[in-house]
Amino acid sequence: MAFLVSEFDAEEDDRHTSLFVAPTDGSAEPYRLTRASSASSPQWSPDGDRLAFVAARNTDAGLAVENGSEVEEEEEDEEENGEPVGDGPKPQVWSFDMTRGGDARQVTDRDYGVAEFDWAPDGERLVVAARDPTEEDEEYLRQRNDDGPIEIDRLQHKGDGAGWMDEVTTYLFVVDVESRETVRLDHAYDDEEKGDRNGLQPAWSPDGDRIAFVAQHETDPDDTHVRNVYTIRPDGTGYEQVTDAGLRLAGLEWSPDGERIALGGGEPYNWYKPTEAYVLDVETGELDSVSESLDRTIAFGGNPQWLDDDTLVGLFGDEGNTRMVRLDADADDPERVFVAQGRSRSVSGLAASDDGSTLAFRMDDPEDGADIYAMGREGLDAEKGAEADEAGLAQVSQVNAELVDEPHDCVRVSWENSDGVTIHGLAYLPPGFDPEDPDPHPVVSSVHGGPMSYDSPAFGFDQLFWTSKGYIVLRTNYRGSTSYGQEFAERLRGTRGDKEVDDVKTGVEHLVEEGWADEDRLYLTGFSYGGITTAAAVTKTDIFAGAAAEHGIYDFYATFGTDDNHLWHEDEFGLPWENVDTYREISSITDVDQVDTPLLITAGEEDWRCPPTQAEQLFVSVRKQGVDSRLVIYPGEHHNIGDPDRAIHRLEELESWFEDH
């Protein structure tokens, strides 16, 4: 199997994602294939003798010689040489020959890089998705690169992580692996960035006759999240639209016999409704849900995989966990499987071998770490409490062994909120803490983003950081969380700042009542929607000694059109100029005069999901009233904290803020 490991280089202050291979039976240590540059999207060739991946490396020396150019030319001025706009190498498809060995060979040479790819079943071709600017596009990109004016006609004028948008179209191309000869499929296109950012997702049929992809060709793609499935032949003929279901479709997987495609489908705008597993008949276009009765959402990265022509397996959010579900391709008859996983471990990144006999996945155990595991298909039916060998479960990696020497327990907790609704959460406990004979500890209530998300047992540095310093970390699955069914999630729809705040507040009060928490040392933080909840909470309660609102939105009226989420907000709250009172009511800035809690506020300077102006507005508003507050802006960061030094600074800043209060 092949898998990716993220590592942080303290000396270079950089994050690298390296590609490893290992036998699925865990009989040998994983072997590192890449070192110099980050890798992504590994994919075995059909015969298993080559491993392709995407990486931004310097041009393959062999390719440079073939092109009659010097490798060093990359260092020369790009504009003078007529080279593509932008600094550094672009992401291309590379391939290792796993039989003969040696370094990876560069397969593609697209001027603006490659976003996605898939192998043809003959192993001789790839289909890739890549930007292909016109001459007019090139002229504009050079103007932009030279600090010229930004000119945008698109409704979706910015995207987090992409910045200001352009109108360069992404197409599918078929590439001959040996000769690198490339053919553009003119009817297979979509802009690179949309509100959903899912790309074209090309998938080659088992017989090699058709390529399926996801796009929006009917209306303004910037004003809808609807995505349909299309197919096209590898020579560019036979373009067909297969679906017209009004859904947000993603994750295409052809059945072994090539007659059907499994995929995930969700409501385009109401993301509280569970994303379901669908099976598409390619010939008739019939699209049937095979998981609707489960009333659970497909987990991130958990789209259904074929085990055989009649059976699938996928990952679903289920009661504050991510678990495997077996699906019947001909009926809505989902079955929870791999119960040997238990309630204290969570699964992600599921992949099935081509013949469906072997499953590989990441499994998180808060006590033992997060690693890659593999098991035979029969392991799906292992009984509850089965040992690893009984389930045929093999641990393939052990990447964080040095961090799990001292146990950090994670336990499930539940309580009733003010409305009498039972709320569930996870409590990460410091070493030596005894829930049966507790002594009060400080608590960090850490609120997940989304809100259409959920917390499941996880191994993460944040939790280890806090528990190692004697804090209990409480992660609340408040109303709006998506692993408890549609009705529970939709209780938050159309509201902000009341229900989820009550769920978080009553959670820490429950820990105080249990004797776990020191009522004078309760702290609150959250990122993204967690930041929104944090700011709303401190307008309604003073129980927290200190709080940190990270990368959130605090004035929904002012943020409309300045972030990249206008479709979501319009669906849930209407248009702001038509519903002024609603937008004011859901914004914590409206009640900022009620804030007394010391408040740390953070933002990414280039965050287009929750713009930094929101953090500035909240900071000035509370500081103007004399509230102890502090503003931290991370230059160059989007809606995350990716730079290692800044990630460390974030935790140290939070710790210092809480310790000071």
pLDDT digits (tens, 9 = 90+) for 595-647: 999 999 999 999 999 999 999 999 999 999 999 999 999 999 999 988 889 99
Q: What's the rounded Cα separation, in Å, for the pair 54 and 57?
A: 9
Residue 593 token pair: 């005069």
CA distance 618 to 593: 11
Same domain, 420 and 287: no
Mark which of 272, 300, 328 sits at the end of a domain: 300
Looking at the 3D structure of the chain, how many domains does it have? 2
Q: Which residues contact 30 (CB under 8 A, 6 or more apart)?
A: 3, 20, 21, 22, 372, 396, 397
Q: Is the CB of residue 84 less than 8 Å from the CB of residue 111? A: yes
210 shares its domain with 93 = yes
pLDDT in tens, 387-406: 999 999 999 999 988 877 77
Q: What integer pLDDT is reported at residue 154 of this predicted model?
A: 87
**What contacts 642, CB < 8 A, 6 or more positions away?**
15
Helices vs strands, H then E, count in the chain: 11, 37
What is the per-residue pLDDT across 116-153, written as a single tens digit (0 to 9) for each? 999 999 999 999 999 999 999 999 999 999 999 999 99
Q: Which two tokens stand for residue 143?
A: 């103007």
Query: Mean pLDDT throughout 155-165?
Result: 88
For residue 394, being part of any structural domain is answered with no
Tell which residue, 331, 313, 244, has the closest CA to residue 284.
Answer: 244
pLDDT value at position 71?
A: 46
Distance CA 648, CA 158 (A): 28
Domain's final residue, options 257, 281, 300: 300
283 is in which domain, residue-wise?
Answer: 2-300
Whether residue 341 lies inside any domain: the answer is: no
Taking residues 283-304, report their average pLDDT: 97
Q: What is the SS3 assignment for 21?
A: strand
Instruction: State which H helix or E strand residue 506 sits in.
Output: helix 499-513
The sign of the CA dihedral 489, 490, 494, 497 is negative
> Is-contact 511 445, C-beta < 8 A?
no
Percent of the chain with pLDDT over 70: 96
**The length of the chain, given as a count of residues:** 661
Strand pairing report for 125-131 and 158-159: unpaired
92 and 225 share a domain? yes
Band of residue 10 on the pLDDT scale cut at 50, 70, 90: confident
Domain with residue 422: its CATH number is 3.40.50.1820
Residue at 55 is within a domain:
yes
pLDDT score recorded for residue 643: 83
On whether residue 389 sits in a domain, the answer given is no
Residue 273 and residue 412 in one domain: no
**Burial class of 606 by CB neighbour count within 10 A (0 to 12, 13 to 18, 19+):** middle
By C-alpha distance, which of 140, 232, 115, 126 is closest to 175? 126
Domain of 82: which CATH number?
Answer: 2.120.10.30
Q: What percentage of the chain carries pLDDT values higher than 90?
A: 83
Q: Does residue 397 lie within any of the structural domains?
A: no
Residue 557 placed within a domain: yes
Q: What is the mean pLDDT of the chain?
A: 93
**pLDDT tens, position by position, 357-375:** 999 999 999 989 999 999 9
DSSP 3-state of 327: strand
Rg value, the chain, Cα: 25
Confirm if 53 and 19 have CB atoms less than 8 A apart: yes
Task: Please state the rounded mean pLDDT for residues 438-465.
Answer: 96
Q: Residues 6 or more apart from 70 whose CB is under 8 A from it?
A: 64
* CA nearest neighbour of 315 among 271, 362, 349: 349
> In the numeric block, which tokens belong to residue 515?
């004797």
Q: What is the distance between the terminal CA atoms of the chain, rounded to a whole angstrom?
A: 49
- Calpha distance 118→125 (Å, rounded): 9
529-538 helix and 499-513 helix, angle to the nearest 10 degrees: 70
What is the spatial distance between Cα 274 and Cα 299, in angstroms, rounded to a whole number?
10
Is residue 361 in some structural domain?
A: no
Query: Residue 271: inside a domain, yes or no?
Result: yes
At 74, the pLDDT band (50, 70, 90 cuts) reads very low
User: Which of 281, 300, 319 is a domain's end point?
Assistant: 300
Given the DSSP bridges, would you call strands 335-336 and 322-328 parallel, antiparallel or unpaired?
antiparallel
